[in-house]
Structure 1
Amino acid sequence: VKYATPDLRTMLANVEDSMKDNFIKNEIPVEFQGAYTRRLSEGKDDTLEGQILSVADKIDLLYESFGEIQKGNPEDVYTEIYKESLRTIVEFKTMASVEYFLDNVLPDLLNEEFTDQLKLERISRAIIA
């Protein structure tokens, strides 16, 4: 299994942090933003809840990158984010929710027609195998 370079891992962490910060800034009342910032920064540990949070973040990133690829965005970074997100998701494949995602949700996602459909199907098969 190939893993992301440190630069890609840093980029993915920055994307996650940016999405979290944007959510808090735009959706949470000012007086609660500090508490939400602390709470949403905690939790990614070896507990079941931490694992679920890690997988949920990667699924969110996968969907974001998939949306950009589906729109035909030519930036290679979205394909890299997609690959790294899927690799991380596969690391948790013993979880029932991840197994369901890989067996049911991802195939439906990849069955939609879009420009780089075959490319993403090949990438996904190679990572999951």
Structure 2
Amino acid sequence: MGLNEFILGLNNLEKITRAPGFFKYTKHTVAAHSYRVASIAQVLGDIEEANGVSIDWKSLYEKSLNHDYTERFIGDIKTPVKYASKELRGMLQTVEEKMTEEFISQEIPTEFQDIYRRRLFEGKDESVEGEILAIADKVDLLYESFEEIVKSNPEEVYMAMFIESVQTIQSYSHRPSVKYFFNEIFPELLNKDFYGREHFIAKIDQIHD
């Protein structure tokens, strides 16, 4: 029993489609998403540090790189299915946690098992690093959905994704990185010409000021 299966699992993440059935113009995989989230978390961490916040970089990188690794076990469930009810969401989480524990106990050497329990279980906690992960995850979804919107994909799900991402990021408004994001990064993102922009901006203005 070595770490071979963990490394093989990285290949699996390259083959798992993110938000299956939604993205039309650009294919998104769980592996690519994990890399982007880690990179975005790094940017947010830099902003937090510039504002006097102490960052545990090891924890932040571990959380962001591994936050969706367990999707190798059950895949990325379509959002409407995953969030159809609290009961279903809880059941899916229970299955994922059980499969993760079985994977760790069967495939990870004993001396490393505690490390991988820390890395592979839920990282979005109340720590600074956990909050940065939650923000980075939604920033990436915001950019993913915006790409479909500017390419004139007519499906309403992308607007819903974008709005939900904005609202979730706003819920962390106490974080300096969120203030910076909305003051410096978000306006630049929206400063792009595309069909339906006026209608889009009007909707966004209703939830963000």
Match of 1:123 in 2: 203
**Contact between 1:65 and 1:82, CA under 8 Å: does it hold in 2?**
yes
| CA spacing shift, 1:74–1:123, aligned 2, 3 Å | same
Match of 2:122 in 1: 42
**Aligned residue type for 1:61:** L
Alpha-carbon distance in 1 for matches of 2:177, 2:189: 16
Structure 1 unaligned spans of 5+: 1-13, 28-35
Q: Which residue among 79, 96, 104 is the counterpart of 2:176?
A: 96
Residue-pair matches, total? 104
Larger Rg: 2
Task: After TM superposition, give the deviation of residue 123 of structure 1 in Å.
Answer: 2.1
Q: Which residue among 167, 172, 188 is the counterpart of 1:87?
A: 167
Structure whose residues are more often helix by fraction: 1
Structure 2 unaligned spans of 5+: 1-17, 20-26, 36-65, 71-118
**Contact between 1:61 and 1:81, CA under 8 Å: does it hold in 2?**
yes
**Aligned residue type for 2:30:** N
Q: What is the CA deviation profile of residues 24-63 of structure 1, one whole-angstrom value per residue up to 9, with x for unaligned ones?
A: 7xx8xxxxxxxx4253653101111111000000000000
Alpha-carbon distance in 1 for matches of 2:175, 2:152: 32
Q: Which residue among 98, 111, 114 is the counterpart of 2:191?
A: 111
Alpha-carbon distance in 2 for matches of 1:88, 1:116: 24
| CA spacing shift, 1:20–1:111, aligned 2, 3 Å | closer
| CA spacing shift, 1:21–1:109, aligned 2, 3 Å | closer
Structure 1 residue 22 corresponds to structure 2 residue 30: yes
- TM-score between both structures, scaled by the size of structure 2: 0.45
Alpha-carbon distance in 2 for matches of 1:81, 1:124: 12
Percent identity over paired residues:
41
Structure 1 residue 77 corresponds to structure 2 residue 157: yes
Task: After TM superposition, give the deviation of residue 70 of structure 1 in Å.
Answer: 0.4
